[in-house]
């Protein structure tokens, strides 16, 4: 398996504040990585740094041979980043369909395939972003990242605050995108078991540094490690 992403000695934050310290790890093509850690440990800052939305102080990020850290945020989609931010920033004044077509780039994912995966969105094609439930907004946010046809999908707490039935639907979709379609992804979650079950690798952050990295399958069978690092075992 060849390497897709390599992060080396990365430090980043906001303004003068350094949140991430000396982060290094890599991810193979088509692999899924669970990014775990308690609240405030830097998970969103790391995702946002990959998307180019923080201030990077040191280190390098390489994606498919491109020096990602040298590119401004708006050029990162063109080299393969698909970003679903924690705050799901869909265009609220556009319809579902316009949200998708506004960012579509050529490739295997298009609006039609997003509708096949999320039939709810197909039904709401002409609705404005403001008229969607939280779950539908999240589905649209995932759809928007997919139609960019990325090589690496970044999902920041995609299940947060959603009703259990929607969580199931999104998990199925994420499993399909990462497992069946083989798209590489980094998925942030505070509740690790469901995500570890569909991930290949796992990285745990604490105070902005990597405190644990292992195969997801191994970490999944170590409740005492999960409990120590995350304060949860399930
Ligand atoms: N926009 C910001 N400006 C300054 N500090 C921030 C900002 N966003 C987050 N932080 C700080 O960065 C740290 C990590 O936050 P974050 O990456 O959101 O953690 P997580 O996603 O793991 O909950 C926290 O101490 C938080 O207060
Ligand atoms: Mg966060």
Check whether 88 has a pLDDT greater than 60: yes
Check whether 188 has a pLDDT greater than 80: yes
Average pLDDT over residues 91-97: 96
Q: How many residues does the chain have?
A: 234
Ligand 1 atom 4: residue of nearest CA:
14
Average pLDDT over residues 33-55: 97
Pocket of ligand 1 contains residue 43 by CB under 6 Å = yes
Please tell me the distance from the alpha carbon of residue 143 to that of residue 81, in angstroms, as a whole number: 14
Tell me, which fold does domain 29-52+73-230 have in CATH?
Rossmann fold (3.40.50)
Q: What is the mean pLDDT of the chain?
A: 95
pLDDT (0 to 100) of residue 170 = 94
Contacts 24+ apart (CB under 8 A), 128-133: 128/92, 128/93, 128/94, 128/95, 129/90, 129/91, 129/92, 129/93, 129/94, 129/95, 129/96, 129/99, 130/92, 130/93, 132/90, 132/96
Check whether 226 has a pLDDT greater than 80: yes
Average pLDDT over residues 93-103: 96
Ligand 1 atom 18: residue of nearest CA:
44
pLDDT digits (tens, 9 = 90+) for 122-154: 999 999 999 999 999 999 999 999 999 999 999
Check whether 98 has a pLDDT greater than 80: yes
Closest residue by Cα to residue 118 from 77, 176, 76, 50 = 176
Check whether 99 has a pLDDT greater than 80: yes
Ordered by start, the domain boundaries in the chain are 29-52+73-230
Higher local confidence (pLDDT), 77 or 234: 77
Residues whose CB is less than 8 angstroms from the CB of residue 175 and which lie 6 or more positions away in sequence, other chains included: 198
pLDDT (0 to 100) of residue 190 = 77
Q: Which residue has 């096949």 as its token pair? A: 116
Check whether 191 has a pLDDT greater than 80: no
Ligand nearest to the CA of 36: 1
Please tell me the distance from the alpha carbon of residue 176 to that of residue 76, in angstroms, as a whole number: 24
Range from 22-36, 78-92, 163-177 that averages highest in pLDDT: 22-36
Q: Which residue has 């995702």 as its token pair? A: 47
161 CA from centroid of ligand 2 (Å): 13
Check whether 233 has a pLDDT greater than 70: no
Please tell me the distance from the alpha carbon of residue 34 to that of residue 96, in angstroms, as a whole number: 28
């Amino acid at each position: 398996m060849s390497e897709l992403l390599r992060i080396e000695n990365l430090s980043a934050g906001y303004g003068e504040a350094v949140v991430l310290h000396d982060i290094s790890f890599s991810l193979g093509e088509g692999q899924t990585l669970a990014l775990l850690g308690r609240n405030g440990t830097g998970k969103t800052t790391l995702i946002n740094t990959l998307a180019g939305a923080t201030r990077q102080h040191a280190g390098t990020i390489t994606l498919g041979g491109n020096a990602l850290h040298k590119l401004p945020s708006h050029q990162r989609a063109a080299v393969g980043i698909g970003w679903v931010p924690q705050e799901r920033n869909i265009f609220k004044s556009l319809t579902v369909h316009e949200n998708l077509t506004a960012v579509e780039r050529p490739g295997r994912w298009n609006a039609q395939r997003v509708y096949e995966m999320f039939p709810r969105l197909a039904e709401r094609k002409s609705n404005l972003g403001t008229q969607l439930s939280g779950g539908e907004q999240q589905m649209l946010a995932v759809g928007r990242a997919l139609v960019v046809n990325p090589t690496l999908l970044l999902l920041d707490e995609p299940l947060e605050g959603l009703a259990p039935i929607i969580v199931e639907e999104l998990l199925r979709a994420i499993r399909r995108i990462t497992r069946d379609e083989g798209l590489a992804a980094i998925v942030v979650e505070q509740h690790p078991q469901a995500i570890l079950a569909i991930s290949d690798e796992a990285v745990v952050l604490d105070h902005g540094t990597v405190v644990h990295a292992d195969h997801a399958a191994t970490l999944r069978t170590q409740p005492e490690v999960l409990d120590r690092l995350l304060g949860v075992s399930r």
